[in-house]
A and B are shown apart, each in its own frame.
Chain A
Amino acid sequence: MLSRNRLRTGLTALSVSWGVFMLVALLGIGSGIANQIYWDFRDDAINSIWLYPGTSSLPHGGYGEGRPVQFTDADYELLRTSIPGIEHVAGRFRMGGEHIIRRGAKTSSYDIRAVHPGHQYIEKTIVRSGRFLNDRDLMERRKVAVIGVRVAEFLFPALDPIEDPIGEEIIIGSIPYTVIGVFEDVGGENEMRKVYLPITTARLSYGGGDVIHTLLFTVGDATLEESQRIESQVRQRLASRHHFSLADRRAIRVSNNLEEFAEVQQIFTWMDGFIWLVGLGTVAAGIVGVSNICLISVKERTREIGLRKALGAPPRTIITQIVRESVALTAVSGYLGLLLGVLLLEALRTWVPENDYIRDPDIALVPALVTAAVLVLCGAVAGYIPARRAASVPPVVALRDS
């Protein structure tokens, strides 16, 4: 009977489709953004905490403010041995800028990280062949290097970039190093264009003493609270060693990945809720439209409904007919919206190149099913209200109506 108001029914169906389409598109794009952010976290261990030295901003223990803090091997040992809960520790020594690396006729410049062996676990470096740096390399200040797979591909063209570089010599600056490992990194292309050297060797070559520029460590499977406890313990020990006030937030900067991850997770929980709210609101507007069109069609056909009742139609039949039409209308138009939404996400996945903002926008099966179920339910409710009204009209009144 809705077919009698083709345009109105069509527009109503469109509004339901649009609502569902918006819901699906929003959920999908939301998930794409979340995927991308979580992807960014894949680079480093989520349970890692990073310490950057700063400059004291408060006078403390007889020392004035404005005093730079400098990490050394002693701090590395402190973290490694005397703070419970810390799993892997590493220091980074910055050699400043990119460095010319040569092998045979091939020359290019790459970023070099001089680190401790524990760095492998914190940066989530995946060693594909050979090995990562070990304590012995550091102790003996060996001239060895672990190179990223992109570096290997460049320096060793026409060779297998994974297996063949092991044992080969490359020249960094003017010093020859032996390649002991090739690695990949889930953190992206840039992370695979790096070279790792033993921190001790690098400091020897570039005059670094026992300085460490960045300290990194992981906290195992500690919860957020536990990691925050470890973090504050670290801050306390470093404060007393480096003579800065605990209240001084500038003396060292601490970045807790777990904390940031939790924050991001919370943001996405809120965003998800918001998307559902907006999306379901849009769908609800469509559903109200369905109820409205059913009401109009019932009103217009009061006389026909009365006649059908006079001819022996039981009230239940009248109700089921209207509800069935309403459910069919919402289900079909909702399904159409769902389909269009999924197609849009599919198109985004297929046609949008890899970028920093969105990754694998998708709607999971469960939200899709929930949406479908909610729609059918809403369709039934939207139809039931006008239907009950129609069924309760006595046939006489309906027939008198003209």
Chain B
Amino acid sequence: MIKLRCVNKSYPMGARSLHVLKDLDLDVAAGELVSIMGSSGSGKSTLLNILGLLDGFDSGEYTLDGQSMSGLSEAKAARLRGQMLGFVFQSFNLIAYKTAVENVSLPLYYQGVPRRKREDTALGYLEQVGLRDWAGHLPSELSGGQKQRVAIARALIGQPRVIFADEPTGALDTATSQSIMETLQSINQDGITMVVVTHEPDIARITDRTILLRDGRVVSS
């Protein structure tokens, strides 16, 4: 599903530049649940952004589901994100003035789905994460775990091939983390490839495989 070859990425830091990813190779098979671990500064967030088409890379080759991701235009990248990818963030990133159901249905808006259908579909996914009754609530009226479930429903609604989760339990307590991970696992079992960035060994343990990053290179996989 995901294939990286010799990918390099550096950020300009004033006059010098910071070389974050160095000739990185990576493979994730379809249907896999992998975790990416590494100390802070190892490049794991950068890697996730590149994998999620949220950021470009300087050189190398990235193939996603058989398509090359080199030199994408912004508009093309946006379309691919909408069609193939889902995101779950540490800080949830829900829009504060929109209700749960509106937040969940947002990706469909950009795919041109009519309003009625968007809402019906979104309610279905809220049902799947157990928040059907909270559809009309604003994020500020939800607990952390509930917010993350709304975010997961939002990631699912576009029927993605891959879901990227960046520290999905970083802002949650242990019990809630557990249940969120179980939800992600069950989604994975439905056949969606899942890449989780984490620094918690407990989380990494329940994934199929852990990719360890150090100084912009994969040290074990």
Contact = CB atoms under 8 A, between A and B. Distances in A.
Interface stretch (B36-44, B48-56, B134-142): B48-56
A311 B106 CA distance: 8
A4 interface: yes
A311 B81 contact: yes
Nearest to B87: A310
Interface residues of B, number: 23
Interface residues on A, range: 20 to 34
Ranked 4 nearest A-B pairs via Cβ: A312-B82, A312-B110, A314-B78, A311-B107
B73 to A, nearest CB: 9
A399 interface: yes
Contacts of B82: 311-313
Contact of A313 (B49, B83, B93, B110): B110
Contacts of A307: 93, 95
12 contacts: A310-B52, A311-B81, A311-B158, A312-B78, A312-B83, A313-B110, A314-B78, A315-B78, A316-B75, A394-B55, A399-B54, A402-B91
Contacts of A394: 54-55
B46 to A, nearest CB: 9
B95 A310 contact: no
A111 interface: no
B89 A315 contact: no
Contact of B154 (A311, A315, A396): A311
Interface in B85-141: 87, 89, 91, 93, 95, 97, 106-107, 110-111
A399 B92 CA distance: 11
Given A310-B81, A311-B87, A312-B81, A396 B49 contact: yes
A279 interface: no
Nearest to A315: B74
Contacts, number: 56
A146 B15 CA distance: 98
B105 to A, nearest CB: 10
Interface of A: 4, 303-304, 307-317, 391, 394-396, 399, 402
A391 to B, nearest CB: 8
A399 B93 contact: yes
B79 interface: yes
Greatest chain B CB density within 10 A among A311, A313, A394, A395 is at A311
A311 B55 CA distance: 14
A316 B73 CA distance: 12
Contact of A312 (B55, B93, B107): B107
B107 A4 contact: no
Contacts of B54: 310, 394-396, 399
A195 to B, nearest CB: 80
A400 to B, nearest CB: 9
Contacts of A309: 78, 81
Nearest to B93: A307
Contacts of A310: 52, 54, 81, 87, 93
Interface string B41-78: 00000000100101100000000000000000011001
Given A311-B107, A312-B79, A394-B55, 18 more contacts: A303-B93, A308-B106, A309-B81, A310-B52, A310-B54, A310-B81, A312-B78, A312-B82, A312-B107, A312-B110, A313-B78, A314-B74, A314-B79, A314-B110, A391-B74, A394-B54, A396-B55, A399-B93
